[in-house]
Amino acid sequence: MLNGCGDCLSSCENNAIKSILSDVIPILNQDKCASCGDCYEVCEDNSISRDLFTAEVNQEECHKCGKCEDACPEHAIKKENNGILS
Ligand code: SF4
Ligand code: SF4
């Protein structure tokens, strides 16, 4: 059953799968971020970096799975599509 988790994107060795959500990007609000590291832990692409104070998404590495948004206890990450926050 499809649930949009994005696991197939990172596991396909032939890079043969593209997400229809590719125009949706995670936007991290650093004013809300508590640098807990939860998003960093769930990101399988290692596309989130963090320091003692905040975190940051590397959009070049991100495959838009949305797991970081779900993991953030501070609701600091929101998907953005064509300028509209979900
Ligand atoms: S959406 Fe979040 S968890 Fe998924 S690859 Fe991008 S930064 Fe990582
Ligand atoms: S999960 Fe949320 S609060 Fe924690 S480091 Fe990531 S963005 Fe910041």
pLDDT in tens, 45-78: 999 999 999 999 999 999 888 999 999 999 999 9
Decide if pLDDT at 20 tops 60.
no
C-alpha span between 10 and 32 (Å, rounded): 28
C-alpha span between 65 and 56 (Å, rounded): 16
Decide if pLDDT at 28 tops 80.
yes
pLDDT recorded at residue 14: 73
pLDDT recorded at residue 12: 74
Decide if pLDDT at 82 tops 60.
no
Instruction: Calculate what percentage of the chain has a pLDDT beyond 70.
Output: 74
Q: Is the CB of 68 inside a 6 Å radius of any atom of ligand 1?
A: yes
User: Is 68:42 a contact under the CB 8 Å cutoff?
Assistant: yes
pTM, 2 dp: 0.75
pLDDT recorded at residue 6: 64
What is the distance in A from the centroid of ligand 1 to the CA of 52?
20
CATH 3.30.70.20 fits 24-85, yes or no: yes
